Amino acid sequence: MASKPRSIVREYLEAALWALLITLFLRAFVIQAFRIPSESMKDTLLVGDFLFVNKFEYGAKIPFTHIRLPGLRQPRRGDVIVFQFPQDPSKDYIKRCIATGGETIEIRNKQVSVNGTPLREPYAVHSDPNVKPAGYEYRDNFGPFTVPPGETFMMGDNRDNSNDSRYWGTLVMDLVKGRAMFLYWSWDTDRNWPRWNRILRPIR
């Protein structure tokens, strides 16, 4: 009679173990949750937004290695990407891809151009109307700069309040985690209330 309870306990332990393994596999190779910690992507992403990151689209990295599995495609302009911060890989950042390898980016008085063509950027926000002159810093005037092959130039949508490629350089593929897909939850800390209109919103 004592063996039956033990078998039930074993079944529960095996089920829990399989659930854990499946969760770890999905997190490593398919999808991962991410929380927005700063205002650098405002208004596309707000502090308190929770989103899912697609890891297999670019090819997931095998944990604890620099080996990347084959992906469906490479990052392209307009993708919102989660990556390890180049200056401190223990931190995750999220920015928008503005230019890819071989493209030349230039910023003049806040206007971004790629290969000589001004970009139409409805997602970009400028909170400071002042323009900082070239030679003073890179926020409003930058380049021209040609992105090295296989790398990307990343910028936050909140252009006047973002630590991005203007300051620390281009992003190598080895640090890319995946593309941001959609919000699954959003919490307004000022009101202590969910932002219902943002839940299940795709990220563009």
Task: Catalogue the active-site residues.
Answer: 40, 95
HSE-up of residue 67 (Cα within 13 Å, Cβ side): 5
Q: Report whether 195 contacts 188 (CB < 8 A).
A: yes
CA distance 167 to 69: 30
- Extract the tokens encoding 189: 């800390």
Where residue 72 falls (left for φ over 0; alpha for ψ -120 to 50; beta otherwise) is: alpha
HSE-up of residue 104 (Cα within 13 Å, Cβ side): 6
Which residues on neighbouring strands pair with residue 22, listed in sequence order?
Answer: none
SS3 162: coil
CA distance 184 to 181: 10
Helices (H), the chain: 3-29, 165-168
